[in-house]
Amino acid sequence: IWRYLPSALIMLSVGLLAFWMSDSNIDWSNPPGNVVVVAAHDVRVVDGDTVEVAGEKLRLKGWDTPEKFGNEQCAREKVLGERASQYAKALFGRSREFLFVRTGTDSYGRTLSHWSLDGKEYGLQLQEAGLAKRWRFGLEMKPDWCLA
């Protein structure tokens, strides 16, 4: 068994690297064939990184926004979580087109997906407002929103 351990570790490393690379940005000017296009006003914002489209809950992949539903770690995170939700609602309210690409399912049953509003990557828009941080689930610690 010990002689196979180096090979197994290499395979695991390659698998983790492939998983990490799957979070890379999509070129929204030339989206993949499996992109779904929806009118932005048909999207219900749940919080900064979760929306609902026709009954399907979508979780933004590769990004984290502050929590607001009782699982926040501090008062600052709750305030930022509310702000992220309001900012998301405003973004969807002034956008015409919501594009997303499904990539899997998370432990809560939400569809993991990459998002764009009017051709601009959604996560980057929230990051510019200080309301999202890049996060590779399973590879990195969840961002700490309590630090000033």
pLDDT digits (tens, 9 = 90+) for 25-73: 688 888 888 899 999 999 999 999 999 999 999 999 999 999 887 777 7
Whole-model pTM over 0.85: no
pLDDT digits (tens, 9 = 90+) for 88-136: 999 999 999 999 999 999 999 999 999 999 999 999 999 999 999 998 7
Radius of gyration of the chain (CA): 17
The candidate with the shortest Cα–Cα distance to 76, out of 2, 4, 147, is 147
Count other C-beta atoms under 10 Å from residue 45's C-beta: 19
Distance CA 111, CA 101 (A): 10
Q: Which residue has the tokens 């407002």?
A: 129
